[in-house]
Structures are given as C-alpha cells and as structure tokens.
Amino acid sequence: MQIKYRKELEKTARQIILIHREETLIKLILRTIVRNIKVEHAGMLIFDKNRDEYVVKVSRGYSGIKIPIGLAKVKKDNPMIRYFTDKKLNFPREILFLDKLNRLSQTPKVKRNSKLQKFLEELKLNFSLYHAKACIPGFFRDDLIGILFLGEKKNKKHFLEAELSFLSVLASDVVMAIKNAWLIDDLNQQLQINNRLFLQMVSALASSIEAKDKYTIGHTERVVTVCLIIAENLKRKEKDSDWAAFIENLRIAALLHDIGKIGIPEKLLNKKQPLTSKEREIIKTHPLIGANIISNIEALRQALLGVKHHHERYDGQGYPSGIKGKQIPLIAAIVCLADAFDAMTVDRPYRKGFSLEAAIEEIKINRGKQFSPMVVDAFLRGYKKSLIQVPKI
C-alpha cells in the first residue's frame, strides 16, 4: 500500500506541471491526497496576487466539509498565515500539527506571554474552523504561495513519516506549478501589450528553472548568447525572409529550452554523482514536458520547436522524436549546439569543464553526427571572430 501511494504521488507531481488552470490543479492534488493518504478532507489556502490575500480554493473529502462563505478569504494577518511568515514570531517553516500546537500553548514560555498565548489560541481556532489536523506551508523562495491543510485520517492514526515527506515534496511541486501557471497567464496578457515586456516575462519563467536546478545558474542566458552568435554568422546563408521574427523566436526558444525541467525531481537535477540509465531516461522527458507547458500559447508556436527538439541529433540518434538531418528545425539545431557547448565548458560535481579549445575540437568531431554541419560552421565563424568564450562562473 505504501508503494502504491508513493507512486501515485510521484505521478501526480509530474502531471501537475502540465496543468495551466489553477482551479484544476488544486482539485487534482487534493483528490490525490484524499484518495491515497485516506484523510477525511483536504484543502488549500492559495495566495491571490490580485486581492493580496489568501483564498480557500477547494475543500473536499469523504466528510463533505464545506467552508462558509465568510471563511473563504484569509488576510495576511490571519494567525495561520502569520505563523509561517511573521519573522518576529520565529516559528519554523515546517508542517504544523494540531497536537504540537496544543503542546506549545501549554509551555511555560507561552503562559508567561499573554500576546503569544492569545495568538496561539486564535491559531487553534482556525484549525478548528477548517477541521485541520495538520498544515503544510508551500513557499517559493520567501513567498508563502499556499498552505495545504489536512483533516484527520480515516483510521484515526498519526501520519506516517513517509506520508509527510511525500506531502512536503508534493506541496513544493504544487507551488512551482502554481507559480508557473501565474507566469503563463502573465505571458498571454503581455503578448497583447508589448513585446519587450513579453521577453522579460519569458526570462522570469526561465529563471524558475534555475531556481530549481542549482547547477544551471546562468546557463539559460549563456545559451541565448551563443544562439544569437550562431544566428548572426548564419544570416548570410539563411534566406528566411522574416529573419527578425526567426531571431525573436530563437531568443525565446533559448530562454525556455529547459522549462520542462520544472517537471523533473530536484534530486535528479542536483545529483552530484553521474546519473543512472533509469535516471537519464527521466531527464530525457524534459523536452516533451516543456513543449506541453507552452503548447497553448499561440505566439510560442515556432519557439516550441526549439524547446521540443533541442536534444535531437543530426544522425537521428537523439530524442524525443529521433528525427535527423534537415528534419530537425533550424531553431532546434542552433539551440542544440549552444546548449551542448555550455554543458561541455561548465564544471559539474563529477567532472571538470572542457577548455575552450577542447570544446571546439569536440564540436568539430561531432559535425554531421550530433550537430548540423551548417550550424557548426556558423559557430566556428563566431569562434574565429573571438565571439565564443568559455563562461566565467
């Protein structure tokens, strides 16, 4: 049974990143928790950035609990919010149990402090109103995006350590998905307003990947730079009549090429040892995840090709589609080389980065194998002009 719910939670964590509607996302996650952890009910307080307050989006379970209309909105000064966000209170950002709260309110320190005692009593009242036995905070950096609250387990037993561990990971993934949904929504709005602002939002979306993968900090911007150098040195041969639009789409594809890594477990992205074959297969799903994330944005249709196919190989041995030669979109072939060059030249925990000369030699060797000959030639022209450099980190 334990293995079953673990697999279910992991599967859900991978699915939620593909959902762009916040309401649908929350329903999915709560339904999964109620079904697998066997709690009476579950709910979430989600931050509404437009109202600057928290909203109870969904609360359902076997008991059919209903939140009164007056309790559907929660302000930032609510004790349940302040417990996790008020630095003066200095409470830990971890799962808060009602049992722990009861014990805390009986400590000598609290009994000597009337204000703290009052605060904890109000917090216990909130637990009671939501029929909550535990609250799990979900942060994005220093921002509290939401709080998952759980009712009592059907069997009346305490939560298992494994259950709590997976719920914490799941809460983190939900926060990332909600943040992603917000950014996607903002992207669609900015498309109609100003292209410059749109690119800023794309950069913000791209930065969410680097927030998750600590070994790729700065990677996205470096890939953009190399892509634009390649494109500049391709321009004389490329007969695309709308070259400016191609460059714009290339810039966006380079910014978003790894967006699918949001759906990959952090423990794999930040692993210090070489990946196993099974782990590599999981990593290989990120181009398709990325393509799914941006598939509903009409203005990103061309950039999507670069996101989806940036790990294809010229000889057909790449992924996810195994296409080869001129079947690979030019935008993807450029991102492929820029991405590989940066990966070669950056230090990883398990190997030293290549020197510039060694990386250039590796790219020459893989001309017509991993990389498009035309793209390699454009890259080398940029190198001869001293435009290509090893990143300084």
What confidence tens digit (pLDDT) does each residue in 135-173 have? 999 888 788 998 988 888 888 888 888 788 778 777 777
**Separation between Cα atoms, residue 97 and residue 109, nearest integer Å:** 19
Q: What is the mean pLDDT of residues 200-211?
A: 65
Per-residue confidence (pLDDT) for residue 31, from 0 to 100: 82
**Separation between Cα atoms, residue 294 and residue 301, nearest integer Å:** 8
What are the tokens at 148? Answer: 């998952």
Per-residue confidence (pLDDT) for residue 62, from 0 to 100: 47
Confidence of residue 70 (pLDDT cuts 50, 70, 90): very low
Sheet holding 73-74, edge to edge: 73-74, 53-61, 41-48, 143-150, 134-140, 96-97
Per-residue confidence (pLDDT) for residue 339, from 0 to 100: 95
**Separation between Cα atoms, residue 46 and residue 147, nearest integer Å:** 7
Its pTM surpasses 0.75: no
What confidence tens digit (pLDDT) does each residue in 315-369 have? 999 999 999 999 999 999 999 999 999 999 988 766 788 999 999 999 999 999 9
Domain parsing of the chain, residue ranges: 2-175, 194-384
- Residue written as tokens 């230090």? 347
What is the architecture of the domain spanning 2-175?
Answer: 2-Layer Sandwich (3.30)
Q: Which fold has domain 194-384?
A: Hypothetical protein af1432 (1.10.3210)
**Separation between Cα atoms, residue 83 and residue 62, nearest integer Å:** 28
pLDDT at residue 288 above 90? yes
